[in-house]
Amino acid sequence: MTEKARKCPYCSKPLTRRPYWKHIQEVHPKEFENDTGTWIQLFNDYSAMGMNKQVSLQVIAEIFNKSPKIIEDFLKEQNIL
């Protein structure tokens, strides 16, 4: 089964490198820092892989240099949690 190709939401470049957020972090650092939509995508991806909630929140928090509580509160506000 082939995975749907992701495209960068900022430059539309196909994202072939994993993790896909690395391109955004390196090429679009300001957008990366402020794009909470990426938190949703990462949480959904991690959940789909079977990662538990607390580990997912911790990983996202470390990637974005935020506290897990900030990530959790945001995801609750967005009705993801």
**Cα 58 from chain centroid?**
12
Q: What is the pLDDT of residues 3-44, one digit of tens each?
A: 567 888 899 999 887 888 888 889 998 888 778 888 998 999
Residue 51, pLDDT above cutoff 70: yes
- Predicted pLDDT at 46: 95
Residue 50, pLDDT above cutoff 50: yes
Distance between CA atoms of residues 20 and 39, nearest Å: 13
Q: How many residues does the chain have?
A: 81
DSSP state of 17: S
Query: What is this structure's pTM?
Result: 0.72
Given the structure tokens 């538990």, which residue do they identify?
A: 52
Given the structure tokens 């900030």, which residue do they identify?
A: 70
Residue 81, pLDDT above cutoff 90: yes
- Predicted pLDDT at 3: 55
Distance between CA atoms of residues 69 and 76, nearest Å: 10
